[in-house]
Structure 1
């Protein structure tokens, strides 16, 4: 189940159609969803959707992908992800800690491990 959860989580970040993306978020996240990373905080599904849409606008043409295996125990999973061109090296590498409630995301805490240097082209 952790691998499937990670796949669905990243699929929502990659979905460019706003209606489809929102449907994925509504299906995957609990109503009291909370997302926190060094750049953004979101309370509720609509706010999570806004954070994802903003990231897509900031990084057009880049895709999120799993980098390694998913580790999990109890209701917690962690995964390393990459953001980059579909056929190229990552621009950003991060870690996500997923807290679930009955198989749905309730809290996600994100960390950025590698980001472009200031002024670098994205």
Structure 2
């Protein structure tokens, strides 16, 4: 397992962390202080901004979990991977996304650029 594959796994685990304090601590540990997160619905900087985006998604999709879909493709300090949002009880995904994560080279995330490939109507 590459370091970036492990980094992607930790990234997804944060999206699934139900405890807000644990999630905030994990964000502080995984992201640089000035990290950015950009997707079609958000463009934020810093731990608080990233935490707010994740909390918003968790609130909107209660009872769902994020999973990496397929393999993590990585080179140098950049990883790309697909992910899905599925019911915790099992079943079809309702969201599929594609994220590009840029590491600072020391094990922290500096930038996330996200794309949404499948979204539910009205989301």
Structure 2 length-normalised TM: 0.93
Alignment RMSD, CA only?
1.0
1:104 equivalenced with 2:108 (yes/no): yes
Task: Quote the residue 1:113 is aligned against.
Answer: 117
| Comparing 12-21 and 109-118, the one that deviates more | 109-118
SS of aligned partner of 1:60: coil
Picking from 9, 14, 21, the partner of 2:23 is 21
In structure 2, distance between residues paired with 1:55 and 1:80: 17
Task: Quote the residue 2:98 is aligned against.
Answer: 95
In structure 2, distance between residues paired with 1:77 and 1:107: 11
1:82 equivalenced with 2:84 (yes/no): yes
For these two proteins, the number of residue pairs brought into alignment is 119
- CA drift at 1:42: 1.2
- CA drift at 1:89: 1.0
SS of aligned partner of 1:68: strand
Task: Quote the residue 2:66 is aligned against.
Answer: 64
Q: Name whichever structure is richer in strand by fraction.
A: 2
Deviating beyond 6 angstroms after TM superposition, the runs of 4 or more aligned structure 1 residues are none
- CA drift at 1:117: 2.6
* Runs of at least 5 residues in structure 2 that lack an aligned partner in the other structure: none
On the 8 A contact 2:70/2:81 being kept in 1, the answer is yes
* Runs of at least 5 residues in structure 1 that lack an aligned partner in the other structure: none
